[in-house]
Amino acid sequence: MNLLRSVATVGGYTSISRVLGFVRDVLIAATLGAGWVADCFFVAFKIPNFFRRLFAEGAFNAAFVPTFSDLLTTQGRAEAGRFAEQVLAVLLAVLIVLVGVLQIFMPWAMMGLAPGFVATPEKYDLAVVLTRITIPYLMFISLVSLMGGILNSLGRFAAVAATPILLNLSLIAAILWLSHFTVTPAHALAWGVSTAGVLQFLWLAVECRRAGISLRLPRPRLSPKVKSMLRLMAPAAIGAGVVQINLLIDVVIGSLLTTGSLSYLFYADRLNQLPIGVVGVAVGTALLPLLSRQVAAGEAGAALNSQNRAIEFTLLLTVPAAAALMIIPEPLIQVLFERGAFGPGETRATALALTAYASGLPAYVMIKVLGPGFYARMDTRTPVKFAMISVAVNIILNLVLMGPLQHVGLALATSIASWLNMTLLAVTLSRRGVLKSDIRLRRRLPRTIGASVLMAGGLWVAVPALEPLFAAGGAQRVGAVILLIAGGLMGFGLFARLSGAIDARDFRALLRPGGARTGGDARDDG
């Protein structure tokens, strides 16, 4: 498997999804703004997404993909398929119970998830109603994660990477069409979320059949392999989902702050999630099945090389992205969201939150890249220990910073906690001898940082120079942001190429169908 090609496939579809996601968010911002109705929808949207990222994408993939890949490598597709069917039966039974319990007890659950809403009955009631509408999404998207794990293990990344596109299209349709027939636009969006889950499930069911995997539904049974996977999954629920836990804590505490705080955090996180999704999810998705196969085959050297190339590629993209988001947050938010119910005050508040989130961007993504180093070796317990430390630090920092910094303090606390978690993961892998930076990584990382600093300096000088265009608004403001983005990309590309942070051979490996199995080797002639 060519790691860079796999990352490019996932990242390409994710980029399309993120573009549609921004269209979606622009429509939501113009329609709902950052008021109490928007806060209610974002809580209703975050809760099933939290469970999805924590259990379905995070814990489930961390436990299922290595086990499925091991069976695929050692015992063949038929045995791996039987294991997947056993998991499907157990997973579906658990999901039906979980969704049912959440539907029944949502009024009480909301008191814990958004305690600040309780003092305002209409806000609390709307949040409960909207969350009950969105909760079924959890069941369908969890089944999607199972099928996605199967397809990723088979090296079929494209179909899985395209599934988020359906969510964004569904929500866009909800705003533009369904909102005319519902009590509020927030109701339409909630129904759009659940509809997207059904569409994504049907999409991957068809793709699995095309891949030769037709999953039957046997009687739920805790076979030895399923029990083993569940034992791996329990700690991974925290280890792989630590960022989501931190974000959920932000929601709980953010509900205690002034109206609009949750909305500011949501819009800022959406921008911050662009590089996380395109880079972090793409690299993590492609790396886990590759590492799992290499570890199962005893290819320690290849596994180490894969991990190094993943780190190199990740930092090459996330360090300059973080620098740019910290330098030009307000112009970006002005162009994307400032219209309709979203005014200049909302822009400034969201820009401050984005700066705080962006300071932790490389750490967020590195957690996704380092995690497979543990999961591929069937170790889900170590990440959970570090996750618990990170969550504890996040809670303490939230409580300390929410007073002086308000919602910005919550975003900053999440970033600091993520850096701590990333450091603990990296140090532990290094001590175990399965993570050791090679000469290529040691040479290129300082050059990447240097090129990013130079790019950031250029943006810092350019923003005041373009102020007349920003003040003019409209097309001139959009043009100014395009100039900033294009200039930043070209500037970083030039500095990185001249310094040797990137090499033309990397792109040749990306384009070569039978090229380097990990997107290049450890050597660096520059």
Write b or e for each residue in 195-227: b if 16 or more Cβ atoms lie within 10 A of its Cβ, otherwise e. Answer: bbbbbbbebbbebbeebebebeeeeeeeeebbe
- Are 429 and 464 within one domain? no
> Could you tell me the sign of the dihedral formed by the alpha carbons of 114, 117, 121, 126, in that order?
negative
Q: Is residue 453 part of a domain?
A: yes
Distance CA 452, CA 23 (A): 28
- Of 315, 314, 305, 308, the closest CA to residue 283 belongs to 314
Residue 213: the pLDDT is 80
- Determine the pLDDT at residue 515: 42
Residues 498, 376 share a domain? no
In angstroms, the CA 62 to CA 141 distance is 16
Residue whose token pair is 């305690």: 115
Considering Cα of 141, then 147, then 150, then 155, what sign does the dihedral take?
A: negative
Same-domain pairing of 497 and 381: no
Q: Please write down the HEC assignment for all residues of 201-216.
A: HHHHHHHHHHCCCCCC
Task: Quote the CA–CA distance of 34 and 292 in Å, as a whole number.
Answer: 44
Q: Return the pLDDT at 384.
A: 81
Indicate whether 254 belongs to any domain. yes
Distance, in Å, from the CA atom of 20 to the CA atom of 9, rounded to the nearest integer, reads 17
Nearest to 378 by CA among 3, 53, 70: 70
Q: At which of 405, 436, 467 does a domain end? A: 436
Q: How many domains does the chain have?
A: 2
Statement to judge: residues 404 and 484 lie in one domain: no
In a domain, 309, yes or no: yes
- Both 370 and 490 in one domain: the answer is no
Note whether 399 and 262 are same-domain residues.
yes
319, containing H or E segment? helix 300-327
Residues 6+ apart with CB under 8 A from 273: 18
- Give pLDDT, residue 53: 66
Helices (H), 114-184: 121-134, 136-153, 157-176
* Predicted confidence pLDDT, tens digits, the chain (526 residues): 466 666 677 777 777 887 888 788 888 888 887 778 888 898 888 878 776 666 555 667 777 888 888 888 888 888 888 888 999 999 899 899 989 999 999 999 888 878 888 888 888 999 999 999 999 998 998 899 889 888 888 878 788 888 889 999 999 999 999 988 988 899 999 999 999 999 999 999 999 888 888 788 888 888 888 888 888 777 766 655 565 666 667 777 877 888 788 888 888 988 888 787 677 666 766 776 777 778 777 788 888 888 888 888 889 889 999 999 999 999 999 888 887 778 888 899 999 999 999 999 999 889 888 888 887 887 878 888 888 898 889 989 999 998 889 899 999 999 999 999 999 999 999 999 888 888 888 999 999 999 999 999 999 999 898 888 888 777 888 898 899 999 999 999 999 989 888 876 665 554 454 444 444 444 444 4
Last residue in a domain, options 436, 463, 486: 436
Q: Which two tokens stand for residue 461?
A: 């000088």
Let me know whether 458 and 416 are in one domain.
no
Count how many residues are written for the chain: 526
The answer for residues whose C-beta is within 8 angstroms of residue 486's C-beta and 6 or more apart is none
Question: What does the alpha-carbon distance between residue 75 and residue 82 come to, in Å, rounded to a whole number?
Answer: 11
Task: Specify the pLDDT at position 448.
Answer: 93
Angle at 193 between CA 182 and CA 41, to 5 degrees: 65
Specify whether 387 is located in the same domain as 504.
no
Q: Is residue 520 part of a domain?
A: no
Residue 343 CA to residue 354 CA, distance in Å, equals 16
Dump strand ranges (E) for 289-445: none
Note whether residue 280 is domain-resident. Answer: yes
Distance CA 391, CA 373 (A): 21
Residue 522 confidence (pLDDT): 47
List the structure tokens of 393: 């630090």
Longest dimension (CA), the chain: 67
User: Tell me, what's the pLDDT at 509?
Assistant: 55
Q: Looking at the structure, tell me whether residues 20 and 69 fall in a common domain.
A: yes
Provide the token pair at 421: 């978690």
Residue 522 domain flag: no
In this structure, the answer to whether residues 419 and 500 fall within a common structural domain is no
N-to-C CA span, the chain: 26
DSSP symbols for 55-120: IIIIIIHHHHHHHHHHHHHHT-HHHHHHHHHHHHHHHHHHHHHHHHHHHHHHHHHHHHH-GGGTTS
For 386, what's the count of Cα atoms within 13 Å in the CB-facing half-sphere? 26
Cα gap 84→75, rounded to integer Å = 14
Taking the complete model, does pTM exceed 0.95, yes or no? no
Tokens linked to 509: 């490996």
Q: What are the C-alpha distances in Å from 413 to residues 114, 243, 510?
A: 19, 11, 37
**Residue 521 resides in a domain:** no
Run of H or E including 31: helix 3-32
Contact 500, 312 (CB under 8 A): no
In a domain, 524, yes or no: no
- Per-residue confidence (pLDDT) for residue 244, from 0 to 100: 62
| Residues in CB range of 196: below 8 A, 6 or more apart | 137, 166, 167, 169, 170, 171
The pLDDT of residue 165 is 92
Residues 478 and 452 in one domain: yes
pLDDT at residue 495, rounded to an integer:
92
Answer with the one of 415, 436, 457 that is the final residue of a domain: 436
- Domain limits for position 484: 446-515
Instruction: State whether 360 and 450 are in the same domain.
Output: no
